[in-house]
Amino acid sequence: MIETKNSTRRVTMISSISEMKEVSQSIQKQNLTIGLVPTMGCLHEGHLSLIKRSLESCDKTVVSIFVNPTQFGPNEDLDSYPRPLESDIEKLDEMGVDILFHPSKEEMYPTGYKTFVEIKNITEQLCGKSRPDLFQGVATIVLKLFNIIQPQNAFFGEKDWQQLAVIENLVKDLNLDVAIIRVPLVRESDGLAMSSRNRYLSVQERQSALSLSRTLQKAQDQIRQGITSAKTINNLIQKRLLETEGAKIDYISICDPVNFKEKEQIRGRTLIALAVKIGPSRLIDNCIIEEI
């Protein structure tokens, strides 16, 4: 356990796997439930909504903060990913989180580490297309966290829709005893989806970033008015994003929300998902069109 200078600190900080396992086992022995909120830190309201759900429904809440190197590609932002640990701890303290699990890279991936989890068929599209390492890294670290912490419930945000699908399949296919709780995406008051990467944006870029949620809103309006052609909606989204200063489209997908197959007609439950690079940040956003 890490000694802290702050005597008012209530959250227990654990950085070793063996200690985390011991603490989890002793919680289970008391017949108490554990809720896990896995994060990479730089906590925002989106994370806090996951933590709130865990605090409400589980006896003990563990938040993990670990910037997982295996889910970043070679030219991605691993080194510059924000790591404001002290302010994260303050937030966890304020909320009454029981345990912060904050292992080092060496603890999670010691020299000689060899094992990775591969999930097929739902990881080749959307974010997995331009970030081929992403979901293998996510599935691997999440499985490790589940094995170490043994939570009954784990909380994930719907902003990372495809990540949630990957984790749900991981749990189902590998018969894991953990319930995955989906928590809706949280937006800033002007509509921007909360993301740790928003803090890279300049004032101008942040203005451009609003284009993602506004375009999704516009697409939903058009669909409500009766347009069902995915191509027409895709063209509308593309046009609006191309008009946005500094925006580079990674993907626009109008697809099935479970298997991510592209749709020609917007019928049945449909996911519209976007990834757009604005300045240094690659931003994602999505919305669900319920059955029409």
Provide the binding-site residues for ligand PAF, judged by CB under 6 A: 38-40, 68, 71, 138, 141-142, 160, 163
Of 40 and 165, nearer to ligand PAF (C-beta) is: 40
Tokens of 25: 């086992």
Respond yes or no: is residue 102 known to be catalytic: no
Tell me whether residue 138 or residue 237 sits nearer to ligand PAF (CB atom). 138
Is 24 or 71 the residue whose CB approaches ligand PAF more closely?
A: 71
The catalytic residue among 47, 131, 206, 282 is: 47
Closest CA to 283 of 190, 157, 195, 218: 195
Cα diameter, the chain = 61
Going by C-alpha positions, the residue among 156, 153, 147 that lies closest to residue 178 is 153
**Residue 240 burial by CB count (10 A; 0-12/13-18/19+): exposed, middle or buried?**
middle
- Tokens, residue 143: 């499985």
**CB-CB contact of 230 with 253 (8 Å):** no
Cβ atoms of residues 88 and 42 within 8 Å? yes
Rounded to a whole number of angstroms, the minimum distance from the CB of residue 195 to ligand PAF is: 10
- Between 142 and 272, CB nearer to ligand PAF: 142
**Beta strand 12-14 with 99-101: parallel, antiparallel or unpaired?**
parallel
Which lies closer to ligand PAF via its Cβ, residue 58 or residue 142? 142
Q: How far is the CB of 142 from ligand PAF (least distance, A)?
A: 6
Q: What are the C-alpha distances in Å from 192 to residues 18, 55, 71, 203, 271?
A: 40, 26, 24, 13, 18
Shortest separation between residue 160's beta carbon and ligand PAF, angstroms:
5
What minimum distance in Å lies between the beta carbon of 157 and ligand PAF?
A: 7
Supply the minimum distance, in Å, between the C-beta of residue 278 and ligand PAF: 19
Catalytic residue ranges: 47
